[in-house]
Chains A and B, each alone.
Chain A
Amino acid sequence: MSVNERIDEIVKGNDVVLFMKGSPLFPQCGFSSKAIAILDHLNVAYESVDVLQDMEIRAGIKDYSDWPTIPQLYVKGEFLGGSDIMMEMFEAGELQAIVDAEGLAKAG
């Protein structure tokens, strides 16, 4: 399976996926940490992928989304953005609106 297919399977197989550096408990970068804080605040269930543990995905995800940086958030198979966009959408209430509209599962 190509890296693109691997990523596609992860993205399509989960309603909410965050590609990040480190784990939700121990983020290894301030931007990933910010992204996790937003998802926790939304109280939404999500899958996370630590790109530091998988060099193929770390390189491949940038081509997959045509986006040069980590973290990257995907909802229902669609790329939403990185931590700047997540924060702007969160502050504008747009992320909550997506959670409600898509009926995304709650955390826990």
Chain B
Amino acid sequence: MEKGPAHIEMETLLTAAFAPTHLAVINDSAKHHGHSGDDGSGESHFTVEIESAAFAGVSRLMRQRMVNKALGDIPGTRVHALAIKARAPGE
């Protein structure tokens, strides 16, 4: 399946913000088809796996805040559900 606009934008924003050593933006929307958060865009549910030195010594809460901030209005507005797995290298 081709990447949608939110998918590509998330990859670009996260790469720019964190210079990640690992980044996977995974579109889980098909698994949630017909679920209450499915708006028909095919971009309702995502998982972000990101590894960056920027997360070293940072709490879970702050890591998620950093990722959410970097993504602007995407989480919770344009994308219904975003699971975030953020780690520092070596964790």
A interface residues (Cβ-Cβ under 8 A, vs B): 21, 28-31, 62, 66-70, 79-82, 84-85, 88-89
Contact = CB atoms under 8 A, between A and B. Distances in A.
A51 to B, nearest CB: 12
B1 interface: no
Contacts of A28: 36
Interface of B: 32, 35-37, 60-61, 64-65, 68, 75-77, 81-85
25 contacts: A29-B36, A29-B37, A30-B35, A30-B81, A31-B81, A62-B76, A66-B65, A67-B68, A68-B75, A68-B76, A69-B76, A69-B81, A69-B82, A70-B76, A79-B61, A80-B61, A81-B60, A81-B61, A81-B64, A84-B64, A84-B83, A85-B60, A85-B61, A88-B60, A89-B60
